A and B are shown apart, each in its own frame.
Chain A
Amino acid sequence: MILTPNILARLVAIVVGGVILQLTFFSQVALFHVSPDLLPALIVVLGLLGGSLTGAVCGFSAGLLLDCLLIVPLGGGSLVLLATGYLAGLFRERFEIHSVLVPPLLCMGLTLFAELGFGAVELMLGLDAPVSGLIVRDMLLKSIFAFFGGWAIYVGVRRALRPALVEEQTLRRNRRPSVLGT
């Protein structure tokens, strides 16, 4: 990802907008009694498009903002989301994305990872109440929502960050029409 001030501003806007949208919209709607959590999917997409460092930094920032706005102990959300973003970026650096299904599937898998991570952080901080088995259902449903949401997020964020994407630049150069007749 070619980071310019413009792209940086877009990244900040995407992260801030994503956190606010998550808190004000997705967290307050219920589909099949479960609120979708699309923030991990957003971080996965950023990691896929920008690499592990971008993913980790975006994850950390999003987590920090989330913790600040939720007024919970800072660091938990950051830790989980930075790991999520880093893993997504690592995947992009190690493997080629051949199928259009890869981003949503990765969103799904890493959302499940993030949910487990949030659980692990809570356990680490001390959980005084018994855990219901329904939480597994919730986590699975959130992952499924992330599959579908991740698809749309991938398309949207890719479009927003297109000028910064190296592969997009290459594609564009290749697509540039040649002079007629040559």
Chain B
Amino acid sequence: MYRKQVRRRRAVLALLIVGSFALLTITYRQGNDGMQRGVSTVFSPVVSVADRALKPARDMVNWFDETFDAKGRNERLHSELEVARRQAVGAKAALAENEQLRNLLGLDHSGAIPGGYTPVTGRVITRSPTEWFSDVTIDVGSGDGVEVDNPVVNGDGLVGRVAAVTGGTARVTLIVDHSSAVTAKLVPSGTQGLMKPSVGDPEDLILDFLDSEKLVGKGQSVVTSGWRAIGYESGYPPNLPIGEVVEAPLLEQEAQQQVHIKPYADLRNLDLVQVLTGGSRG
């Protein structure tokens, strides 16, 4: 009896397996439209009703999944936002740097930098914390050919001069530092004077010792004159742009022989600068 049962069971199993393979063989790539269509026709109303009836339950389960997913997505978006923000900041910085470099290149090609000088581009890495002295440190030094007293410019104009140098860095004293003095001239009039800073205000330089016979007007440009004043180690090459006259009161010109100049270079926000190495020392 048991053996009969086993035999029957095996026979059914074999039949099912063979049936499965037969179905696979017959319907694979050919299909069995008749049978499937028939079954679908019979079951499609049931399936349709079940589908509609179960929709709220499905929505509820999916709501849980979506909630979990939304939570994860929120965290992911936060991290993506952080990355994007970092990239945006990086891109902005790169754009600003690009602009600065273009300006420097423009300055190179404009003829403002006199012949014989080799510009060495450096980046400001430190800055003095007080307005009492205006020094910055740049990441190029004697190893790059930088020497003391080399003029330093950026894309806008004169920045300062190298005050001290090490192998890989250099300290640049800005033109707004109290120790700085630059022999300068107005263009196109050619009136010459000595430019000194007003400590504490990096936007205000004073061009002193002007010829009181020649009146200076607002908006005139100021460039380095290239001559060395007695007692001042200005030593800048001629025609480096410095700034423009922003204030030129007649009384002040006549009594004190001075006008106020705003430097072209934004000396509070220096990043890339060029050290003009070599050249002849005025």
List residues of A whose CB falls within 8 A of some B CB: 16, 20-21, 23-25, 28-33, 52-53, 56-57, 60, 63-65, 67-69, 71, 73-76, 78-79, 82, 86, 121, 125
List the interface of chain B (C-beta within 8 A of A): 9, 12-13, 16-17, 19-29, 31-32, 35-36, 39-40, 43, 46-47, 50-51, 54, 57-58, 61-62, 64-65, 68-69
The secondary structure that dominates the A interface is helix
B40–A69 CB distance below 8 A: yes
Q: Which of A68, A78, A86 contacts B40 (CB 8 A)?
A: A68
**CB-CB nearest 4 A-B residue pairs:** A75-B23, A75-B24, A68-B39, A79-B20
Chain B residues with Cβ below 8 Å from A65 are: 39, 43
8 contacts between A and B (CB under 8 A): A25-B54, A29-B61, A53-B13, A69-B40, A75-B20, A75-B21, A79-B17, A79-B24
> Which partner residue on chain A sits nearest B59 by CB separation?
A29
Which residues of A are found within 8 Å of B62, using beta-carbon distances?
28-30
A-B contact count (CB 8 A): 103
B22 contact set on A, CB distance < 8 A: 75
* A75 contact from B27, B40, B43, B47, Cβ within 8 A: B27
CA distance A82 to B40 in the complex (A): 22
CB distance from B245 to the nearest CB of A (A): 69
Task: Given A31-B64, A82-B16, verify A20-B28 contact (CB < 8 Å).
Answer: no
In whole angstroms, what is the CA distance A49 to B24 when docked? 29
Asked whether A69 and B64 contact (CB < 8 A) given A25-B54, A60-B19, A74-B27, the answer is: no
Residue of A nearest to B62 (CB): A29
- In the bound assembly, the distance between CA atoms of A93 and B13 in angstroms comes to 15
B40 & A71 in contact (Cβ 8 Å cutoff)? yes
Partner of A74, one of B23, B46, B54, B61: B23
CB distance from A50 to the nearest CB of B (A): 12
Q: A29-B65, A32-B68, A69-B39 are in contact. Are A78 and B54 (CB under 8 A)?
A: no
CB of B163 to closest CB in A, whole Å: 62
Please name all residues of chain B whose beta carbon is closer than 8 Å to the beta carbon of A24 when the two chains form the complex: 47, 50-51, 54
In this complex, the member of A23, A52, A79 whose beta carbon has the largest number of chain B beta carbons within 10 angstroms is A79
Q: Are B57 and A56 in contact (CB under 8 A)?
A: no
B68's nearest neighbour on chain A, judged by CB, is A32
